[in-house]
């Protein structure tokens, strides 16, 4: 048998976050001084990778290899199935096409691939200290279990201790974990060394009583509750063009919320041109991340889009960022949302009479009317850190906003416009970045907050960015997992304890 120790991550379903957990473990073990390699006996994916020696493998193990700091190698994924129809796949073994096969035919022959799987695994195990094995889907697919070569079947072949991860984000995590454990045979259950609750958002204290009950019912320890980590790492099923090699990442990250009725998004084009500003449009809380600035753009229907923000989970995510001091800028409809209330007494904005609570980040109240204000405006920003910036722009809105706090700017005729509170800014002015002065002051302020010098800030090389993201991932997972128990499950002590 091979020399390397191993640990296997199985999940209660596909998408439970196994790939990312494996990438995190690869990184952690590598950081701890172990030569580490990923392994998944069989991948089903269309998004494949070609190794240096011209062989084809699944991308998840490529990312995991990068996390481990080693060259991706086809031994890390000896079988790749590329589905070509609902019932058939191209079968790739050791990086080369074996043929096209209907699912039933593959199911019958897959056992004959065990020698290939073991040869790849054992050869890899000669070269490294730890192999991090990823399962596929769920080990409790009882219709497929008989000739399994990718979950418990593989765990038996290579004598792997198993961690079982459930996805709390999709709900029913206790049932997922308990149900999976219950559907396993006693010898399979005995392989499980611990349970992991993955993708958790919220207060762990509220979860705790459930964890104790789960441990009691499964007789297995919960080895960690891993938070929903906001890392920018390519995952198995998504094409992440941003992360292609050779590209660079701009040092300042601006997230513009992609409201369903977004209007006047040309406001932000000058930002997209700026060499230090990376501008992205965000549609859900998962991809919001931790930007340096959040922008709420204008919208044709402020009321409905505020409700969308609420339903999409972006509202709490945004409020959390704002509470941590992330600057937020609202323009027109976005500005209206930032206030205390939005009243649509005649339904002119949303089609029915209603009053909504706003995001509560600015001391403003907006009432929608039937009359549209249309005006070109010249103004000067008065609020720090933008004070003195000349602004030209235009207003188009039916909402009227009462402001109780400091204005954002002063118009040519001395009328105050917009509102500022702490790091939250709101204005009706479309085109506000067109003179360039506001953009420069914004860049300077964001750089200062991030501790980078605007004139020397270089684009971060993609590779450096990728490594930084792997470190963030490892840090989050290491904090969440009982690493001593993990090392013990592998029969290893942590290097620093030796």
Ligand X SMILES: NC(=O)CC[C@H](N)C(=O)O
- Decide: is 270 part of the binding site for ligand X (CB under 6 A): no
431 counts as binding ligand X under rule CB under 6 A: no
Tell whether residue 367 is a contact of ligand X (CB under 6 A): no
396 binds ligand X (CB under 6 A): yes
Residue 478 interacts with ligand X (CB under 6 A)? no
Taking CB under 6 A as the rule, does residue 364 contact ligand X? no
CB 365, min distance to ligand X, A: 13
The verdict on 145 binding ligand X (CB under 6 A) reads no
Backbone angles phi, psi at 91, to 5 degrees: -105, 120
Nearest-angstrom CA–CA distance, 395 and 429 = 6
The residue within the footprint of ligand X, chosen from 9, 74, 332, 473 (CB under 6 A), is 332
Q: What are phi and psi of 120, to 5 degrees?
A: -65, -50
- Select which of 332, 409, 419, 447 is catalytic: 332
Residue 302 sits in the site that holds ligand X (CB under 6 A)? yes
Asked if residue 38 binds ligand X (CB under 6 A), the reply is: no
> Is 332 marked active-site?
yes
Which of 154, 153, 178, 143 is CA-nearest to residue 164? 178
Minimum separation from the CB atom of position 330 to ligand X (A)? 9
157 binds ligand X per the rule CB under 6 A: no
365 binds ligand X (CB under 6 A): no
137 binds ligand X (CB under 6 A): no
Q: Calculate Rg over the CA atoms of the chain.
A: 27
Residue 230 within binding range of ligand X, rule CB under 6 A: no
Alpha-carbon span 46 to 208, nearest angstrom: 39
Q: Total residues at the site for ligand X (CB under 6 A)?
A: 13
b/e map 327-354, b = 16+ CB within 10 Å: bbbbbbbbbbbbbbebbbeeebbbeeee
Place of tokens 């470190």: 471
Q: By the 8 A CB rule, do 393 and 434 touch?
A: yes
Q: Which of 18, 193, 397, 466 binds ligand X (CB under 6 A)?
A: 397
Is 286 known to be catalytic?
A: no
Ramachandran category for residue 224: left, alpha or beta (phi over 0 → left; psi -120 to 50 → alpha): left
Residue 426 binds ligand X (CB under 6 A)? no
C-beta of 161 vs 333, nearer to ligand X = 333
Contact yes or no for 130/490 (Cβ under 8 A)? yes
CB closest to ligand X, residue no: 298
Among 5, 94, 299, 367, binds ligand X (CB under 6 A): 299
Parallel, antiparallel, or unpaired: how do β-strands 79-83 and 42-44 relate?
Answer: parallel
Contact (Cβ atoms closer than 8 angstroms) between residue 402 and residue 364? yes
- Binding segment (CB under 6 A) for ligand X, from list 39-47, 249-257, 277-285, 293-301: 293-301
Q: Residues 237-266 vs ligand X: string with x where CB under 6 A?
A: --------------------------xx--
What does each C-alpha distance from 200 to 8, 343, 390 come to in angstroms? 21, 36, 45
- Which residues belong to the active site? 332, 430
Interacting residue ranges for ligand X, rule: CB under 6 A = 263-264, 298-300, 302, 332-333, 349, 396-399
């Amino acid at each position: 048998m091979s020399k390397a120790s191993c640990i296997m991550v199985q999940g209660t379903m596909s998408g439970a976050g196994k790939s990312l957990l494996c990438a995190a473990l690869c990184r952690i073990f590598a950081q701890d001084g172990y030569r580490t390699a990923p392994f998944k006996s069989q991948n089903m994916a269309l998004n494949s990778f070609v190794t240096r020696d011209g062989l084809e493998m699944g991308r998840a193990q490529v990312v995991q290899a990068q996390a481990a700091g080693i060259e991706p190698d086809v031994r890390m994924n000896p079988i790749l199935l590329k589905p070509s129809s609902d019932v058939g796949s191209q079968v790739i073994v050791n990086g080369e096409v074996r043929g096209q096969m209907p699912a039933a035919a593959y199911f019958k022959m897959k056992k004959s691939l065990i020698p290939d799987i073991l040869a790849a695994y054992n050869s890899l195990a000669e070269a490294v200290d730890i192999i991090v094995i990823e399962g596929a889907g769920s080990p409790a697919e009882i219709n497929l279990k008989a000739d399994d070569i990718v979950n418990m079947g593989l765990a038996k072949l290579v004598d792997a201790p198993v961690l079982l991860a459930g996805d709390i984000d999709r709900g029913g995590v206790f049932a997922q974990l308990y149900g999976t454990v219950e559907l396993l045979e006693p010898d399979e259950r005995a392989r499980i060394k611990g349970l992991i609750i993955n993708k958790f958002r919220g207060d762990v204290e509220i979860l705790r009583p459930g964890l104790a009950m789960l441990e009691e019912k499964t007789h297995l320890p919960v080895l960690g509750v891993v938070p929903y980590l906001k890392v920018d790492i390519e995952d198995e099923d998504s094409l992440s063009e941003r992360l292609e090699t050779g590209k660079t990442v701009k040092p300042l990250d601006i997230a513009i919320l992609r409201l369903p009725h977004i209007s006047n998004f040309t406001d932000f084009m000058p930002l997209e041109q700026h060499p230090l500003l990376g501008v992205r449009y965000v549609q859900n809380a998962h991809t919001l991340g931790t930007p340096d600035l959040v922008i709420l753009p204008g919208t044709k229907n402020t009321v409905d889009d505020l409700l969308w923000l609420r339903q999409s989970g972006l509202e709490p995510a945004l409020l959390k960022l704002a509470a941590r001091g992330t600057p937020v800028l609202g323009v027109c409809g976005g500005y209206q949302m930032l206030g205390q209330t939005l009243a649509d007494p005649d339904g002119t904005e949303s089609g029915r009479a209603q009053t909504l609570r706003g995001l509560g980040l600015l001391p403003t109240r907006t009432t929608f009317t039937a009359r549209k204000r249309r005006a070109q405006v010249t103004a000067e920003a008065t609020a720090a850190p933008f004070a003195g910036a000349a602004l030209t722009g235009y207003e188009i809105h039916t909402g009227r906003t009462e402001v109780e706090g400091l204005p954002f700017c002063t118009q040519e005729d001395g009328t105050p416009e917009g509102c500022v509170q702490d790091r939250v800014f709101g204005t009706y002015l479309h085109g506000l970045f067109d003179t360039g002065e506001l953009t420069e002051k914004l860049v300077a302020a964001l750089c200062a907050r991030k501790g980078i010098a605007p004139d020397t800030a270089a684009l971060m090389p993609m590779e450096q960015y990728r490594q930084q993201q792997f470190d963030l991932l490892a840090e989050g997972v290491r904090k969440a997992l009982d690493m001593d128990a993990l090392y013990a499950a592998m029969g290893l002590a942590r290097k620093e304890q030796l």
